[in-house]
Structure 1
Amino acid sequence: MGQTQPPLAHAAEREAIALACRVLAHRGLADGILGHISLRMGENSLLVRCRGPRERGLAFTEASDIRLVDIDGNPAAESELEGGYAVPNELPLHTELLRQRADTNAVVHAHPPRVVAADLAGLGIRPIVGAFDIPGTRLAAGGVPVYPRGVLVRNRQLAAEMLDAMGDRPIVLLRGHGLTSAAETVEQAVLQAISVDTLAGLSLQVTASGGELADLPDSDMAELPDLGGSFNTQTAWRHELARLKAAE
């Protein structure tokens, strides 16, 4: 009889990233087989969604698809990339962010069609709503920059260009490509991406109906309360997981 492989470490974190990948797909931000999420696990290591031998796309991500690698993409243990697993081509997009930003632990890269369409139509992500999505409005009010190259971010030089465009913001659009969202937690990074996608969708609807986009007035912005992390992140994330469970 063959030897049984020992269980992979960080089981809870792998499962959490797999769930987050499925949330992205369920929300329409990562249709098909493209997109990935990473989580810093140490000074020089990260868990990242890898492509496996039975790849079916983000909607079907399992904890076994999440693998531990070092900052250069090498497996952190011999078993991590066994069986035909490979790191994403755009791993430098993740690792350069983690190298440069000490406050970032999680990175989401996704290909939301509405975000791509809105950007190509010349529609920036703006604070056009108020209480409809307070965290999203605050995010948009701070500015959502654009990396103007529709390239595969497959090396450190291109990742550095993306970071230059991103500046100190938590999210950047990638022209003709998608978006990158960075945060302290995986949940935060995904929720930021969902808010940006929602704003892009609303912008497309408004302009397609003949309307014009207008930013929320400063007086209204000042009235928007900070509902706190437990509501904005924890409660919102429970909702996303419940939506996913109901759909599966």
Structure 2
Amino acid sequence: MACRVLAARGLADGILGHISLRISENALLVRCRGTRERGLAYTDAADIRMVDLDGNAAAEGELDGGYAVPNELPLHTEVLRRRPDVKAVVHAHPPHVVAADLAGLGIRPMVGAFDIPGTRLAAGGIPVYPRGVLVRNRSLAAEMVEAMGGRPVVLLRGHGLTSAAATVEQAVLQAISVDTLARLALQVASAGGELQDLPESDMAELPDLGGAFNTNTAWRHEVARLGERR
């Protein structure tokens, strides 16, 4: 469902992008590609496979039928190895995020009640991994995680983003917020405006609406939107 949400939001058009979920110390569920790959918008349960941190089947038959782990599996597993606070990792290719970064427009806390979780996320800083490479091995993944630090999201220059959280839902919603801020930045710049951070006095007035609203309600909305697209 999360893969479909990414596609519906335009963060993972086509066949690129993947999501993982840690289920034990050495095993994760990850969106794989099979011989009948159709893209993230058409992900079903059969596309989700259980593997270990080295990309091997974590149970008999998990990679049967022509299924293969993503080339960038190390992007997921290195985050999980180095960040015990993380259980879910999203990797997506949002065009507006890539464009805003290449244009020198950082992801800034420039809105208020428009997107409170997104504003708080941006206020903490969104780091950038400055290499536009396929993160296909542990060495490159380690560079990305180093750039990410302890932050929830890192931009990958000329590539996309990686979002990490305690749940799949939160990791996806973080990616959506970053994409929304990137779109707004591009729109402001194209209109000749100047990006300005929200004043500290306004930041202090933004309430924490809690996980039940920020995550649970927001996620129900994303799932409901999928039904409207059918």
SS in 1 for 2:51: strand
Q: How far apart, in 2, do the equivalents of 1:127 and 1:85 lie?
A: 41
SS in 2 for 1:22: helix
Q: How far apart, in 2, do the equivalents of 1:118 and 1:137 lie?
A: 17
Q: Within the alignment, does 1:143 sit opposite 2:141 as a pair? A: no
Corresponding residue for residue 103 of structure 2 = 121
Q: How far apart, in 2, do the equivalents of 1:41 and 1:245 lie?
A: 28
- 1:81-126 Cα offsets, whole Å, 9 max, x none, are 0000000000000000000111100000000000000000000000
Q: How far apart, in 2, do the equivalents of 1:184 and 1:196 lie?
A: 17
Q: How many residues align?
A: 230
Superposition map of 1:1-248 within 5 A: 19-248=1-230
Q: How far apart, in 2, do the equivalents of 1:52 and 1:189 lie?
A: 24
- 1:157-211 Cα offsets, whole Å, 9 max, x none, are 0000001110110000000000000000000000000000000000000000000
**Matched letter for residue 91 of structure 2:** H
TM-score (norm 2): 0.99
Measured on the aligned residues, the alpha-carbon RMSD in Å equals 0.4
SS in 2 for 1:69: strand
**Matched letter for residue 58 of structure 1:** L
Which is higher, the Rg of structure 1 or of structure 2?
Answer: 1
SS in 1 for 2:177: helix
Q: How far apart, in 2, do the equivalents of 1:85 and 1:165 lie?
A: 31
Query: Structure 1 vs Structure 2: percent identity of aligned residues?
Result: 82
CA deviation after TM superposition for structure 1 residue 78, in Å:
2.4
- 1:193-238 Cα offsets, whole Å, 9 max, x none, are 0000000000000000000000000000000000000000000000
Q: How far apart, in 1, do the equivalents of 2:225 and 2:103 lie?
A: 31
